[in-house]
Structure 1
């Protein structure tokens, strides 16, 4: 049996759930703004404007913000940063200002440099 660290298992489960879950529009229709924000954060995307969110429906901005913050907190784990860079995912600076932001950026850059040197 393979022994995965808890954080790795949690990230894998989160990514699988993102791939299998409802579409963004259906989440907005259901009023699940937390999940929309969480998806943006865990993917490392910049936070959306109110106007962009409003196009999906009646925005619950506080729920979106809470989900986004939770997603960014998980995304900004520097233990994942090297792999994110190595996979070719561009880093959009969402971890700047977080406690581990500088370490995340340096680890991502190390992976990105290896990715782009191939």
Structure 2
């Protein structure tokens, strides 16, 4: 059952609808930010985003914050750690950030046994 749950979370995180490059080409900056937040990646810098002529910083930020809010659910943190995904600290400062880190660490420790 646990392995099934891990595979489901991994599929959700990996199986995002379009690749980042496709979304950038389409100018869908909300989805670029959302997918990066949902994967637990740190936010891109303004300098990095400014290299794209069609960038919409506010849309990227909105999507990113929505994705991070979903990623930082402590109920899934153990499975994220257990799947071997490194935690980049994006949940720090959030209401349940400490609980997320503790659950992720528990899964990460199990992964590294």
- The TM tier, using the shorter chain, reads 0.7 to 0.9
Q: Which has the higher contact order (CA 8 A, sep 6+)?
A: 2
- Report how far residue 54 of structure 1 moved: 2.5
Secondary structure of 1:81's match? helix
Is 1:24–2:20 an aligned residue pair?
Answer: yes
Residue in 1 that maps onto 2:103: 107
1:34-70 CA-to-partner distances (Å, cap 9, x unmatched) read 0000011000000001121233432100000000000
Structure 2 distance, partners of 1:114, 1:25, is 34
**Unaligned segments of structure 2, at least 5 residues:** 1-7
Number of positions where the alignment pairs a residue of Structure 1 with one of Structure 2: 106
Q: 2:77 aligns with which of 78, 81, 86?
A: 81
**Unaligned segments of structure 1, at least 5 residues:** 1-8
Structure 2 distance, partners of 1:30, 1:116, is 39
Q: 1:41 aligns with which of 30, 37, 44?
A: 37
Superposition RMSD on alpha carbons, in Å?
Answer: 2.0
Structure 2 distance, partners of 1:15, 1:89, is 10
Structure 1 distance, partners of 2:71, 2:101, is 12
Q: TM-score, normalised by structure 1?
A: 0.80
